[in-house]
Structure 1
Amino acid sequence: MMQNSAGVSIIVCCYNSAKRLPKTLFHLAKQNITKGIEVIIVDNNSSDDTAEVAKSLWEELNNPFPLRIAFEAQPGLTKAREKGIEVALYDYLIFCDDDNWLDENYAINTMQLFDADEEIMILGGQGNPVFESDKPFWFENFYQSYAVGKQEVKSGFVSLVYGAGLGIRKTILKNPKFYAIPFFLNDRVGTRLSSGGDSETCLRVKLLGGKIFYSEKLTFYHFLTTNRLTWKYLQNLHIGFSYSFVPLHVYDLVLNGSKLPEFYWLKKSFLYFARTIKYSFLHFHNIIKNKEGDVKTIHIKSWMILGFEFLRYNKQIKKMYKDISTLKFDD
């Protein structure tokens, strides 16, 4: 299929999304642009009628601009996005989750921001939460875990943006060095929580010399279902964050030009185990009770995982550091 760089492809990756799609598509249909835009629904091996619902809903919305269905049999958000990227017509891409309701100017603002600075390779915006049920009392302490809220005090260049609503140039993804080494992390597979893929994409783009920009002009609503607003879900979410930490930490070392000391993995492991032991004594009762809303309980569990993760990676970190260093852009 012939590609045209002048436009934006909105990629919506779906796994059993039939019930979530109506409002998502309703907001997409209201985009203040009708030319040079398309929506790609990637059906990631759903067992419901996601594809049929998407086509039917789009017809009911009078087909404001092209919507296409792509199928990806291999499960996982990463694979679904790769399929969307493969079939996209345009150079500017937006990753819209099936529970993201984009502002009507999201697409046009994305195009204008990319057009204004050719060095910007990734864009991020601000998600505003919409709760299916009552907001948990602890939510304000953890809102960024849900990809909502300001990512910076004001618009400007940043190191990372969250994946919901992320804009990216297809050209950077076609850079041979982008996939010169395999990615270390993946995103969610089906309903299983895992994370880090979006952050690794951002860090890899930075290594290649690209800029990442957060804009307050890019806003969307993020619909949060009741099952995601439980203390147990939040704990599992942070467990996923913890398991992705080590590779992302090594990216940061490379980006900052930091050397990798001998037995670095062992020193970091001891550090996190010592921190776990210290604060476990101080917060023993809250840990035993698994007290809902206790920030330190979340931190202690994460530190313990990090201690084990640095041990698990051990000498592999040295090879990881060397491999990631090969991606670094030479000024």
Structure 2
Amino acid sequence: MEKPNFPRPELSVIICTYNRADLLDKTLVSLLSLHELDRAEIIVIDNRSSDHTAEVVQRFIAAHGEFVNAVYYYEAEQGLSAARNAGIGLAAADIIAFLDDDAIPAVSWIRTMISAFERNPDMSAMGGPIAPIFESERPAWLTGPLELPYTIVNLGTEEREYPRSLNPFGANMAMRRQALEGNLFPLHLGRKGNLLLSGEESWVFEQIRAKGGLVKYHPDMAVDHFVPAARLSKEWIMNRYYCQGMSNAVQCTSLKEKAKLLGKVAAKLLYIAVSSLNARSVGSKMLIRCRLESIRGTMDTIRNHKSQSAAG
């Protein structure tokens, strides 16, 4: 069946996916309830999935393609950054939003983003609340700063600028196309298959802010985000922090950057030593273990890089 001739979208929604067909199916179906869906296009980037992802997307397009502007694209280069960049290349709108393949947006999600960018011509990017949908019981230790690796975010009920220490998360973020010019997601960072590397989003937002871009939070740009039982373990969260430490080291390419990172590691070790004296709750004790894993990931990566340089 020939694709309908849709008008140019005001918003491009990019959903990158890897081997989560059943969760993706729920996300796609949830889009049908969104207000003003006709103002957006949906771009699904299949990042080398080996399950029935293609079948799920093609079935969705066959059932709803007459009134939903949706396309499927297979990206052969493994990695979330590569998938996101492919989506950006396909996007037709001036506003580009990213939604995880296991996230359910609020019905006002599209309208909120388009309206916010129209009202804030100086705003380069935005994000909103992300509430968890736990597959199993929430662990007692999952509190405070440990919520961020699970992309649990709530900055309140008012519009505000993001604090410098925090950026929108990939599960729920949007930016102007102009803000991404020359700032595509770095391919050496970000998840690749099951490897939990990160840092690619922070890098992009650093570039946006370095050019004077304004990044804002909107309470109505809300999504619910699935957290599988497999991630609600101490082993997973410690590995997540270890990979974050790796990501921190990978981003440092010059001797000056590495020296600065080592200074931060030393300061962090001192902070952890002091914090451990007052750690009483199960959450605070777990946070200390995770931060030590982050340091271990950083140091292992730096040592491995030195060994490779010496050998090569």
Q: TM-score range by the shorter chain?
A: 0.7 to 0.9
Which residue of structure 1 aligns with residue 152 of structure 2?
A: 148
Structure 1 counterpart of 2:105, from 84, 99, 102: 102
Structure 1 counterpart of 2:262, from 241, 258, 269: 269
CA separation in 2, counterparts of 1:5 and 1:196? Answer: 32
Query: Do structure 1's residue 241 and structure 2's residue 250 form an aligned pair?
Result: no
Which residue of structure 2 aligns with residue 19 of structure 1?
A: 22
Decide whether aligned partners of structure 1 residues 297 and 54 sit closer, same or farther in structure 2, where only a CA change above 3 A counts. Answer: same
Query: Do structure 1's residue 301 and structure 2's residue 293 form an aligned pair?
Result: yes
Structure 2 counterpart of 1:42, from 15, 40, 45: 45
Query: Do structure 1's residue 163 and structure 2's residue 170 form an aligned pair?
Result: yes
CA separation in 1, counterparts of 2:14 and 2:193? Answer: 17
Decide whether aligned partners of structure 1 residues 140 and 271 sit closer, same or farther in structure 2, where only a CA change above 3 A counts. Answer: closer
Alignment of 1:167-178 (within 5 A): 167-174=174-181, 176=182, 178=183
1:117, CA displacement in angstroms? 1.3
Q: CA RMSD of the aligned region, Å?
A: 3.5
Q: Is the 8 A contact 1:26 1:61 kept in 2?
A: no
Q: Which AA in structure 1 matches 2:292? A: I
Give the % identical residues. 23
Q: Is the 8 A contact 1:124 1:162 kept in 2?
A: yes
| Worse overlay, 113-122 or 272-281 | 272-281
Q: Is the 8 A contact 1:27 1:102 kept in 2?
A: yes
Gaps of 5+ in 1: 251-259, 315-331
1:305, CA displacement in angstroms? 3.9
Query: Do structure 1's residue 124 and structure 2's residue 127 form an aligned pair?
Result: yes
Q: Which AA in structure 2 matches 1:162? A: F
Decide whether aligned partners of structure 1 residues 138 and 240 sit closer, same or farther in structure 2, where only a CA change above 3 A counts. Answer: same
CA separation in 2, counterparts of 1:61 and 1:235? Answer: 41
Query: Do structure 1's residue 52 and structure 2's residue 55 form an aligned pair?
Result: yes
Q: Which AA in structure 1 matches 2:265? A: Y
CA separation in 2, counterparts of 1:135 and 1:120? Answer: 36
CA separation in 1, counterparts of 2:8 and 2:136? Answer: 42
Q: Is the 8 A contact 1:268 1:307 kept in 2?
A: no
1:109, CA displacement in angstroms? 0.5
CA separation in 2, counterparts of 1:204 and 1:277? Answer: 30
CA separation in 2, counterparts of 1:184 and 1:61? Answer: 33
Decide whether aligned partners of structure 1 residues 274 and 62 sit closer, same or farther in structure 2, where only a CA change above 3 A counts. Answer: closer
| Worse overlay, 162-171 or 271-280 | 271-280
Q: Is the 8 A contact 2:247 2:298 kept in 1?
A: no
Q: Is the 8 A contact 1:44 1:72 kept in 2?
A: yes
Structure 1 length normalisation: TM-score?
Answer: 0.77
Q: Is the 8 A contact 2:81 2:186 kept in 1?
A: no
Give per-residue Cα distances to partners, 1:24-72, cap 9 Å, x unaligned.
Answer: 0121111101322111111111111212212213444575411101111
Q: Is the 8 A contact 1:127 1:220 kept in 2?
A: yes
Q: Which AA in structure 1 matches 2:78? A: P
Decide whether aligned partners of structure 1 residues 108 and 194 sit closer, same or farther in structure 2, where only a CA change above 3 A counts. Answer: same
Structure 1 counterpart of 2:90, from 87, 91, 104: 87
CA separation in 1, counterparts of 2:216 and 2:251? Answer: 19
CA separation in 1, counterparts of 2:158 and 2:129? Answer: 11
CA separation in 1, counterparts of 2:111 and 2:17? Answer: 23
Instruction: Report the count of equivalent residues.
Output: 295
CA separation in 1, counterparts of 2:60 and 2:261? Answer: 52
Q: Does the residue aligned with 1:19 lie in a helix, a strand or coil?
A: helix
1:219, CA displacement in angstroms? 0.5
Decide whether aligned partners of structure 1 residues 45 and 283 sit closer, same or farther in structure 2, where only a CA change above 3 A counts. Answer: same
Structure 2 counterpart of 1:206, from 206, 209, 221: 209
Q: Is the 8 A contact 2:10 2:40 kept in 1?
A: yes
1:263, CA displacement in angstroms? 6.8
Gaps of 5+ in 2: 307-312
Q: Which AA in structure 2 matches 1:221? A: D
